[in-house]
Amino acid sequence: MVFGIASYKLLETDTTARDQKNEVLTKVLMQGLSSAHYSPERLDDNFSKKAFNLYLERLDHNKKFLLQSDVDQLATYQTQLDDEFKNGSFKFFDLSMSLFQKRLKEAESYYKEILEKPFEFDKEETIEVKPEKLKFASSPAALKEEWRKYLKYQALIRVADAIDSQQKADSVGSKETKKSMPEIEADARKKLRENYDELFKRMGQLENEDYRSSYLNSFANIYDPHTEYYAPKEKEDFDYEFSGRLEGIGALLQEKDGVIKVSEITPGSPSYLQGELKPGDVILKVAQGNQQPVDISGMRIDKAVTLIRGKKGTEVRLHVKKVDGTMKVVSIIRDVVVREEGYAKSLIIKGQKPIGYIHLPAFYADFKNAGGRNSGKDVANEIQKLKQENAQGIILDLRNNGGGSLQDVVDMVGLFIKSGPVVQVKSANGPAAVLEDRDPQVQFGGPLVVLVNENSASASEIMAAAIQDYKRGVIVGSSTYGKGTVQQFFDLDQVLPASFDAVKPLGHLKLTTQKYYRISGKTVQLRGVTPDIVLPDTYTYLKYGEKEQEYALPFDEIQSAKFNTWNSPNFSIEKLKASSKARVAASPTFSLINQTAMRLKERTETSTRSLKLSTYLAEERKAQEESKKLENLRKNIPQLDVAGLKQDLSKLTGDTAASARFQAFTRNAKKDLYIQEAVSILKDGL
């Protein structure tokens, strides 16, 4: 890619090094976005307004710092940001930082004063919890009142937790001294004060440059949500896998809108094996074992990483906010990630007609080592082992598989078809390139089920789409994520000549450069892949996926590739669908999963919460009771008769750690309701 920056000159020597770097950075970003993005934006007043709104939302997402008068002052620039971006000017950004730092100091005085007095939890009072429904305060007094309700809500949660803990202790006959309500309330305020003292201390240490990436991404993200600028340190954070190289928990984090979210769980890691931490979870606090938790709201990602990672065998407790808004403490014992667990692995499901089960956590490939492992070859190997154990059908599990190597998708689809196109990839200009399987050999020609869910993305969607378009197998589960775009990283330092060394390092630009298309011509963008047989899922009714992202690229279609559908189907999709529907309707567990999904939808759509303790406790206990019902039903699910493959079991002898991991994998598969339904679908077709 040619960024065309070489003709630019550095600013005059009387300007600061910061100004020089900012000018070069914005110009090289603008050039890259304009010349290499799949769908370049026109830099005009409309673009400027979008960037203004996006930046304001991220600067003060919860509307707890800026006043409406501040917003009005900043709004005088809302049609000028495109010009500033072109010219490398940061006047608007500098003004926003000046106002924000001023309001930060005022907010510090608010929380200190408010937390000096006890809260009254017997009053009928509510709080709005959805930031998008909040308005900027009209005055300092109004903002202070918002802080009072906000802090009261956080104290209420802590008080309710303490009451719940005491009641549980009573139920098991604990002799610990019970605290009175005033003592519990005082403890809650004390802990809040300590957390906010630490939070404001950290925020006070941040400089304007620490907010620069967020500002620049207010421009980049207008192009699409996956196009982003990464400062040098932030690029390291992006690549950082806690336990891939260090001892930790095995989760990839991202900072967005002032909170730290889990974006990915490393397969085989402590987080993966523990099972409670999920992509989308917001980490609010971090505790080292039973020590006092540290609030990481607003914390820099590198600082949060330092708190979460640690030595093998030590415990970290993460206070997380789940996707449905509930709070949970997730305890994880740190360890070294075992890379073997990130690879494809199989089980045999016993019966008159044995069925093979392949779990694929990612479409992995070792690009640096020509002889390294890749998912295409590994799945081929698993299929061969399953055939040796007389597997009559195969379940390929792509749930929570976020994608990876495109070539491995092509290789893997080729294991199940004779030959033909697998996916179409198109750049902004020119015809689509068709990636094909050219090997006429079919490694497995029997019945096939592909399991997917809302976290199956990118390469997983291409795999499922190809199998569906060829009518080669049955796609089962819930609609996939809907990401049909391709990104590429560009090192900004490498596109600049040596004459710019004085302002380096500049960081990286991640650009959306292509789109994926199914062989039928449709993209999976926004719509994902709709399964042939849809099963109830906890997140069915929640707003989730690419379609919920701001400025996502649109769905579109291109010409279909030429292909022949599978010529020897062993089953009728309609009959399988009807049988599955009857089983699901008769299943108490699936019924409760559907009810839980509807309640989660209602909870997320209800944006106000009561600040009255009795009301809050009643709502939480009801939610806990419903959760326990589902947990108990799942415990009573009949177990599948599964076993490890003979070749794999022979390798476990003497390796206690590997044996423990295998047992956990087997135990989870035995009671997985979705695997059980996939088995029933295959049996209907055999």
Residue found under tokens 């759509």:
605
The three-state secondary structure class of 247 is strand
Query: Quick check: 349 and 642 in contact, CB under 8 A?
Result: yes
Question: At CA 67, angle to CA 204 and CA 109, rounded to 5?
Answer: 45
Q: Residue 508 corresponds to which amino acid? A: H
Active site residue 471: no
Name residues whose C-beta falls within 8 Å of residue 56's C-beta, 6 or more positions apart in sequence.
Answer: 66, 71, 74
The CA distances from residue 661 to 136, 155, 243, 267, in Å, are 51, 40, 16, 12
Question: At CA 226, angle to CA 258 and CA 379, rounded to 5?
Answer: 115
The dihedral over CA atoms of 624, 628, 630, 633, expressed in degrees to the nearest 10, equals: -170
Rounded Cα gap, residues 295 and 260, in angstroms:
11
Rounded Cα gap, residues 213 and 234, in angstroms:
9
Query: Quick check: 314 and 288 in contact, CB under 8 A?
Result: yes
Q: State the burial class of residue 583 (Cβ atoms within 10 Å of its Cβ: 0-12, 13-18, 19+).
A: middle
DSSP element (H, E) containing 345: strand 345-349
Of these residues, 345, 483, 515, 522, which one is catalytic? 483
Rounded Cα gap, residues 39 and 220, in angstroms:
12
Of these residues, 237, 378, 469, 684, which one is catalytic? 469
DSSP 214-233: HHHHHHHHHH-TT-EEE-HH
Rounded Cα gap, residues 673 and 337, in angstroms:
27
Of these residues, 405, 458, 580, 587, which one is catalytic? 458
Q: Tell me, what DSSP letter sits at residue 73?
A: H
* The three-state (H, E, C) secondary structure of 8-63, written as one string: CCCCCCCCCHHHHHHHHHHHHHHHHHHHHCCCCCCCCHHHHHHHHHHHHHHHCCCC
Strands (E), 44-157: 126-128
Question: At CA 338, angle to CA 336 and CA 344, rounded to 5?
Answer: 155
Active site residue 458: yes
Query: Quick check: 144 and 111 in contact, CB under 8 A?
Result: no
- My answer on whether omega of the bond before 505 falls inside 30° of 0, hence cis, is yes
Which is it for the CA torsion 452, 454, 456, 461, positive or negative?
positive
Strands (E), 369-507: 393-397, 420-427, 433-437, 448-452, 474-477, 485-491
- At residue 137, what are phi and psi to the nearest 5 degrees? -65, 145
Active site residue 469: yes
Q: Which two tokens stand for residue 660?
A: 């423990």
Rounded Cα gap, residues 411 and 416, in angstroms:
10
Rounded Cα gap, residues 413 and 463, in angstroms:
7
Residues in the chain: 686
Name residues whose C-beta falls within 8 Å of residue 232's C-beta, 6 or more positions apart in sequence.
Answer: 505, 506, 507, 508
The long-range contacts involving 115-120, CB below 8 angstroms and separated by at least 24 positions, are 115/151, 115/189, 115/192, 115/193, 115/196, 118/182, 118/185, 118/186, 118/189, 119/151, 119/152, 119/155, 119/156, 119/185, 119/189
Strands (E), 405-463: 420-427, 433-437, 448-452
Residue found under tokens 């802090």:
151
Residue found under tokens 């449905």:
324
Q: For strand 448-452 and strand 393-397, is the pairing parallel, antiparallel, or unpaired?
A: parallel
Query: Quick check: 84 and 153 in contact, CB under 8 A?
Result: no
Give the residue numbers annotated as catalytic, written as ranges.
Answer: 458, 469, 483
